[in-house]
A and B are shown apart, each in its own frame.
Chain A
Amino acid sequence: MDTEMDQIYQIDVGNLLAFNPNHRFSSAPSSREELVKECVTEGTKLVQAIADTLFNFPSTESVDGPLVQLPPPTTKLPREKHLPRPKPPTKWEEFALKKGIQKRKKDKIVYDETTDKFKRRHGYDRVNDDNDIPIIEAKASDEPGEDPFAKRLDDKKKRVDKQQKNRLQNLKSAAKAGALPSHVQLAASALPITGTKAQPKKLGKEELGDVAGLAATSTASGGKFDKKLPGEKPPKKQGKHHKYLPVVPRYGWVDEEKEQTNKVLGKLLSKHSHEILNVGKAINMYNDKKEKKKSGRSDKLKPKKDITKKKPYANKANK
């Protein structure tokens, strides 16, 4: 946009920009101050030119002062980011286009015939809620052991999973075209490639710290003279770990020391009970056996067992 001044300036009001292409320093400026002065005067002329057009625009009054509508800037500057790319149609959109299915606006409140009320379509207390059905009638096609409620839940879960998979596919194709919506990010989640093995458990920060300490204690000097890396924390509890309980317990309190020793003793005995010999019992058993042998095996009152006869199943189950 040119003004009708002697020197034609290039003015871009939208950017408040002015350019004077015709200025030449007539003589080499004598000092810096002269140079500065000349530049500022030239600048003043340019600002004046812009202000001339600006103040002649129709202005509206506002609280802060006169507001003026600026025209769009004329100098073209490069964009910051690319133009938004068109999103490729989703699988459903393609199908709908092919079939000629139009989008219908759905109401938020729908009439529910079962309760003769108006209920919302989605959310709390909704129409056709799966959880509200008290009785599901059996059909001829149902299997005898199948739970229809569980089946409904299962079906719903499958539908939701299918929808998630479709959504992922749609987003992937959008990402391929460079048109992923701004609030979505596709990230590779870490899953094990081998199907059967469990995911290797990631060690946490504290566990990793402990490992170094463990390794240190296995050295000959117990990790005392190991070179420490910068930032490595000192080992947690050095020396022997022993908590000594009071021998004389507090009045009214459990004798912890006695309990501790009894616990240890009990454990020992139960572990090795099969090895510990009860001498009295052993002698009695021995004597009984001896007497049985002496009296003779044949006891005519007892019925003789027939070994060849097979025992029925029931007895075996009771074993």
Chain B
Amino acid sequence: MMEIRTPKTHKAKRVLEKRAPKLVENGKKTLILHGTKTSATVSSVLMELYRLKKGGAIKYSRRNENIRPFESGGETSLEFFSLKTDCSIFVYGSHTKKRPDNLVLGRMYDHHVYDLIEVGIENFRSLLSFSYDKKIAPHEGSKPFICFTGEGFENVPELKQLKEVLTDLFRGEVVENLNLTGLDRAYICTAVSPTKVFLTHCAIKLKKSGTIVPRIELVEVGPSMDLVIRRNRLPNEGLRKEAMKSSKDKPKKKVKNVDQDDVLGKLGRVYIPEQEVGKIPLPDKSKGVKRERREGKVKKNKEEGSASKKLKESE
């Protein structure tokens, strides 16, 4: 036996509608968690990543022993968390002897794992180790510039995937209107070698130049680290095709039969199709329905002045 369950409060309804699949989606939220053992580096990386992505990230503080992203059964917990928190990107940190200072960046499609990439952290410098003028510190939640340098990002498939994942991670919400004064941060990723990427976070200083376009100066503020590619998992073709489908794939239909006239304004053309007299659906001519008959009867009864039988009103 099935029963229908609807939310009892408006707030619950709004939350459900926010999480429903839409044509134009909300910004992806990030889930940050760690495994059985973490080193100091990994835990500070996770903490700082969370701080950078404050508005759109959820950080779990407990350790999760049964999450193994690259194993077939070890993803169920991740998928469950993704469903509960409505997060489609996750960052899973761990530290083992075989894989020290490990970070797994993964994405979800329909709350199932879409792709994974595992990187090792080297030469990590924390936020706190950078000294800079506090006035230029980037504000929370501002839209960042993302820059990739190096031919590796085009030639090496793992780096290509990393580029996509990092874009997704740092992008935040897709906005239409941007406030130019609110641009204060940039992420710089450089492919140092086919397996190593140098990632750093900088604040933007706008300097006066002769033209409208100010001169940009970057000051390193945030965490900087070297990412060494370890393992990765690409999405399978079918899933990738489905995920990449967007509503704008079909070109917008040209609006036909509408003209703009300077004098008359907007003009339209109406085409009347050929009337196939034999195929027109006939109106409901059953006796009781006819308005004339009904009204006639009412009139008659009024004239007679007697208590009338109530007519069955058919809709």
Contacts and interface: CB of A to CB of B under 8 A. Distances in A.
Given A44-B217, A44-B218, A50-B145, A78 B235 contact: yes
- Say whether chain B's binding surface is mostly helix, strand, loop, or mixed: mixed
A182 B149 contact: no
A55 interface: yes
Contact of B4 (A21, A44, A186): A186
Given A36-B220, A43-B202, A43-B218, A19 B153 contact: yes
The 9 A-B pairs of least Cβ separation, nearest first, read: A182-B20, A43-B188, A65-B181, A78-B243, A81-B21, A46-B147, A39-B190, A80-B88, A189-B3
A72 B243 CA distance: 18
B200 A39 contact: yes
A82 B21 contact: yes
A76 B244 contact: yes
Given A18-B147, A51-B213, A76-B246, A69 B1 contact: no
A99 B1 contact: no
A43 B147 contact: yes
Contacts, number: 216
Interface string B7-43: 1000001001101111101101000000000000000
Interface of A: 14-25, 32, 35-36, 38-40, 42-44, 46-48, 50-52, 54-56, 59, 62, 64-70, 72-73, 75-84, 99-100, 137, 167-168, 171-172, 182-189, 191
Contacts of B202: 40, 43
A62 B182 CA distance: 13
B140 interface: no
B248 to A, nearest CB: 8
Count class of interface residues, chain B:
35 or more
Interface stretch (B47-55, B64-72, B166-174, B288-296): B166-174
Contacts of A76: 244, 246
B204 interface: yes
Contact of A18 (B17, B26, B148, B181): B148
Contacts of A14: 174
A183 B13 contact: yes
10 contacts: A17-B146, A17-B147, A22-B151, A36-B198, A40-B220, A42-B190, A55-B212, A66-B181, A83-B246, A84-B23
A15 B167 contact: yes
B216 A51 contact: yes
A137 B1 contact: no
Contact of B180 (A15, A20, A54, A189): A54
B17 A182 contact: yes
Contact of B181 (A15, A21, A64, A69): A64
Interface in B188-229: 188, 190, 192, 198, 200, 202, 204, 212-218, 220, 224
Interface stretch (B95-103, B108-116, B251-259, B263-271): B108-116
B143 A79 contact: no
A188 B17 CA distance: 22
Given A39-B200, A84-B22, 12 more contacts: A20-B147, A21-B153, A22-B151, A46-B149, A47-B147, A68-B180, A69-B178, A80-B108, A81-B111, A168-B4, A185-B6, A189-B2
